[in-house]
Amino acid sequence: MPNTGRPSLDCHLCRQRRVKCDLARPACQRCTKYGAVCPGYRDQQALVFRNADPSTLKRRHGKKRNAVGASAASSSSEASAAAETSGVLVTRPGFVDAPPLMTLGRQVTEHWTAQSVPLLLDVYSTMDFLRAAYATASRGGPLLWAAHVFAGTYVTNVRYPTEVACARRAESRRELAVYMGKALRAVNRALAAPGGACRDDILAAVWVLANHEVLAGTLGRQQPVNAWQLHARGLYVILQARGSAPLRTAAGRTAFWPAFNIVQLQALILNTACPAETDEWLGICESGLFEGEELTLRIAQYVARVCDVQSRVMRHLRGADFRGASDDYLDLRQALLDADETFAEYLRNAVPPAPEACCHQHPNKTMDVYMRNVRCAAVIRSHHQMQMLCNLLTHYAPCPVSLDELLAHRRSSLQRVNESAQAVIDSLPAAMAPLMRTTVLKSPHVLFDAMKLVFPLFLVAHVPSTPQEHKDVALRALVFIGKEVGIRQALMGDGPTMPLPAEARVPFTMDLMAEPPWVSTPPRDYTVLGF
């Protein structure tokens, strides 16, 4: 029915309840306070204002009565023509005393939660396991609440970029905290039920929550353990409970790799070894490879070996264990060289892609770029730590390895860092091109492509042994991703640090003959790079 007076600006639910609305956007705080989903507001352009004097109302009612008979005799083609010219048509079949057709204006404004699932599936359009999980998920389950959490942060970062710096930031966080609490409670209830860990929608929900922390930029803010680490541990617990049986099916393998990738990233970031089940899981995958899976497997095997080496290296560095480092040095360095050589041999024997291959013909090509950058990040991190171990041992006279040999090993590790940093920078033109050509608001799927660049670029930008020109390019890319794409983790600083002995910072004798010109003096503390 058209408005005959001043229209109410309140949201639909507050108008229905006849209570005062605070008119907050995108959702009013009264609805949020009482746990209701705010249905949004009327579009002001769709409101029709009419004179309400009695004569006008009498003429209007007469026209309606005449329209009853006319509409009863109208054909379906005339109704279609009316639909094309006047908008949405609402029919009331079975009531002959009411107008069968009533024109409405533009559709009322929807709350952003109505588009949470389509938005998330658009962002992760290449993740088949996520779409399959939604197809089998229960209505109102944890995956839906996880989608609300992710979509709410997306709306804040991308559609309302100024909101992160204004007074409404606290209100947005409170609203998202409500959805996060519901998502976590739903996950806990599902895991407590028999067979809950084997449900793909539970694994997908925790995976989405982990990605949300990168989008929101919470990694490195919380101490001693941040929310991303908790979600990564949750993914490992779920994978552990699921066992190895799902890895023998294509659907189970599709759900395994995204979750296991985050588990390995956590080990790489925290300088710990990969889970004890890693060799068993990767062995099952290797025994029955599916198409396009080999590169992902080889990089996962490489990261697992690197994580084992760096966990032992960091144990010696943290404790300033000169004697233990001296005893283990040759074994550690050989293990790292063996991992590099094994992967290099795989690349030499791998079949190169066809020259005419393109991204839309081969969706795995984009993922290959990401996995190669993950491998480069592992090289940067492990060889940077290995050169610090060389520095430490140059201060230990009883070390059986000569000073000249230690300096040569240090130069080799620094060169590996330089090559890997260059590889990450070389991947930026192709990776950043979609971000430059379009906006994230119009093409949400580019958000996932940008998220996959954050960790490798962080390492290039903040590891002391990378060249300064590479640092500058990586920092510019991170600022663009953080401000223009809306991934707030890209704008985070170095993050928390851990103390290291002074001997690990520089060698006892500077290698003046072949010291790489790009190497800067590392800080007193070793950064964990905002993660």
**11 pLDDT higher than 70:** yes
Q: pLDDT at position 368, please?
A: 75
Q: Write the DSSP string, 62-75.
A: HHHHHHHHHHHH--
What average pLDDT does this structure show over 308-332?
94
> C-alpha 34: how far from its chain's center?
30
Task: Give yes or no: residues 164 and 218 share one domain.
Answer: yes
Residue at which a domain ends, from 238, 272, 306: 272
pLDDT band at 406 (very low <50, low <70, confident <90, very high): very high
Asked whether residue 102 is domain-assigned, the answer is no
Nearest to 435 by CA among 400, 393, 479, 492: 479
**351 pLDDT higher than 80:** no
Q: pLDDT at position 40, please?
A: 81
pLDDT band at 10 (very low <50, low <70, confident <90, very high): confident
The mean-pLDDT minimum among 59-63, 102-106, 433-437, 464-468 falls in 102-106
Q: Where are the beta strands (DSSP E) in 44-139?
A: 88-90, 102-104
Task: Give yes or no: residues 141 and 204 share one domain.
Answer: yes
Task: Give yes or no: residues 320 and 244 share one domain.
Answer: no
| Residue 300, token pair as written in the block | 């996962």
The mean-pLDDT minimum among 41-50, 96-105, 347-356, 411-420 falls in 96-105
**Number of helical (H) and strand (E) elements in the chain, helices listed first:** 20, 4
Task: Give yes or no: residues 198 and 319 share one domain.
Answer: no
Asked whether residue 311 is domain-assigned, the answer is yes
Asked whether residue 52 is domain-assigned, the answer is no
Q: pLDDT at position 442, please?
A: 61
> Within 13 Å of residue 211, how many CA atoms lie on the same side as its CB?
26
Nearest to 313 by CA among 389, 381, 401, 405: 389
Nearest to 239 by CA among 270, 275, 271, 287: 275
8, 19 contact by CB (below 8 A) = no
Cβ-based burial of 468 (10 A; exposed 0-12, middle 13-18, buried ≥19): exposed
Task: Give yes or no: residues 380 and 255 share one domain.
Answer: no
Nearest to 269 by CA among 445, 15, 112, 459: 459
Asked whether residue 250 is domain-assigned, the answer is yes
Those residues whose C-beta lies under 8 Å from the C-beta of residue 473, and which sit 6 or more positions away, are: 425, 428, 460
Residue 38 belongs to domain with CATH number? 4.10.240
Kind and range of the H or E element at 497?
strand 497-499
> What value does the mean pLDDT of the chain take?
78
Q: Quick: pLDDT tens for 189-218.
A: 999 999 888 999 999 999 999 999 999 888
Cβ atoms within 10 A of the Cβ of 127, count? 21
Q: For 31-41, b where at least 16 C-beta lie within 10 A, e where not — what string?
A: bbeeeeebbbb
Domain count across the chain: 3
Computed on alpha carbons and rounded to an integer, the radius of gyration of the chain in Å comes to 29
Domain that holds residue 146: 128-272
Q: pLDDT at position 168, please?
A: 61
* Contacts of range 32-39, beta carbons closer than 8 Å, 24 or more positions apart: 32/174, 32/175, 32/178, 35/178, 37/111, 37/113, 38/11, 38/13, 38/111, 39/11, 39/12, 39/13, 39/108, 39/110, 39/111
Task: Give yes or no: residues 440 and 520 share one domain.
Answer: yes
105, 95 contact by CB (below 8 A) = no
pLDDT band at 435 (very low <50, low <70, confident <90, very high): confident
What average pLDDT does this structure show over 358-380?
69
| Residue 315, token pair as written in the block | 């144990």
The mean-pLDDT minimum among 11-20, 32-41, 83-92 falls in 83-92
Nearest 5°: the CA angle 43, 44, 46 is 70
Task: Give yes or no: residues 298 and 256 share one domain.
Answer: no
In DSSP terms, 103 is beta-bridged to 89
Asked whether residue 286 is domain-assigned, the answer is no
Q: Quick: pLDDT tens for 222-256.
A: 566 788 999 999 999 999 999 999 999 999 999 99
CA distances from 291 to 37, 301, 307, 367 (A): 43, 18, 27, 14
Residue at which a domain ends, from 237, 272, 307: 272
Task: Give yes or no: residues 390 and 494 share one domain.
Answer: yes
Q: pLDDT at position 388, please?
A: 93
Q: Quick: pLDDT tens for 246-296.
A: 999 999 999 999 999 999 999 999 899 999 999 999 999 999 999 889 999
Distance CA 490, CA 337 (A): 31
Q: Quick: pLDDT tens for 57-92.
A: 555 556 555 544 444 444 444 434 443 433 333 333
Q: pLDDT at position 138, please?
A: 78
Q: pLDDT at position 221, please?
A: 61
Nearest 5°: the CA angle 327, 319, 225 is 130
User: Between the ranges 39-43, 94-98, 379-383, 449-453, where is the mean pLDDT highest?
Assistant: 379-383
309, 379 contact by CB (below 8 A) = no
Those residues whose C-beta lies under 8 Å from the C-beta of residue 264, and which sit 6 or more positions away, are: 274, 300, 303, 304, 307
DSSP code for 167: T
Cβ atoms within 10 A of the Cβ of 359, count? 12
Asked whether residue 6 is domain-assigned, the answer is no
Task: Give yes or no: residues 251 and 339 share one domain.
Answer: no
Q: pLDDT at position 382, please?
A: 94
Q: Quick: pLDDT tens for 114-149.
A: 788 888 888 898 888 898 898 888 777 899 999 999
Count of all residues that appear for the chain in the document: 531
Asked whether residue 454 is domain-assigned, the answer is yes
In DSSP terms, 90 is beta-bridged to 102
Task: Give yes or no: residues 253 and 297 share one domain.
Answer: no
Task: Give yes or no: residues 424 and 380 share one domain.
Answer: yes
Rounded to two decimals, what is the model's pTM? 0.74
Cβ atoms within 10 A of the Cβ of 507, count? 21
Q: pLDDT at position 80, please?
A: 42
In DSSP terms, 3 is beta-bridged to 49
Asked whether residue 524 is domain-assigned, the answer is yes
Task: Give yes or no: residues 244 and 309 share one domain.
Answer: no
